[in-house]
Amino acid sequence: MPPSLNLSSNAVSSSLSIVDGYLSNMSYSINVSWCRVSKTNETTAKVSVDKNNGFEHKAIITFKSDSETVKVNVTQKSAFDHRGMITPYKQITTSSCAATGAGMCV
């Protein structure tokens, strides 16, 4: 399983340690604009995310050296609390016109 970071919906930063390699010999790329990476020393990077005002965000940071590629999955929580938002829906009608659709009624 690839390494991962799970972050809150707030604008936060988290440290990421690269144990098997030195960051000075690695390049990195990221596939989104709301998440940024900066090197803090030879073995640690800082991952920063913007405040999330919407649904859950996902990103992949790819670190590459001459001999190794490491992908880190980043998940930022949704700003919404989804618990209780989806409820069962059942249409109750006594009109055959409403049951068949308004377009079929004259």
CA dist 29 → 34, 64, 79, 83 (Å): 13, 9, 25, 34
What's the sign of the alpha-carbon dihedral 40, 68, 31, 13? Answer: negative
- In this prediction, residue 40 carries a pLDDT of 85
Read off the pLDDT of residues 73-104 as tens digits, 9 standing for 90 and up: 999 999 886 655 555 556 666 655 555 555 55
| DSSP character string of 48-84 | EEPPP-SS-EEEEEEEE-SS-EEEEEEEE--SS--TT
Tokens of 61: 């940071």
Q: Which residue has the tokens 């399983």?
A: 1
Residue 7, Cα to own-chain centre: how many angstroms?
9
Per-domain residue ranges of the chain: 1-106
Q: What is the pLDDT of residue 67?
A: 82
Residue of higher predicted confidence among 33 and 24: 33
pTM summary value: 0.69
Share above pLDDT 70 across residues of the chain, in percent, rounded to a whole number: 68
Task: Give domain 1-106's CATH number out of 3.40.50.1820, 3.40.50.2000, 1.10.8.60, 2.60.40.10.
Answer: 2.60.40.10
**At 41, is the secondary structure helix, strand, or coil?**
coil
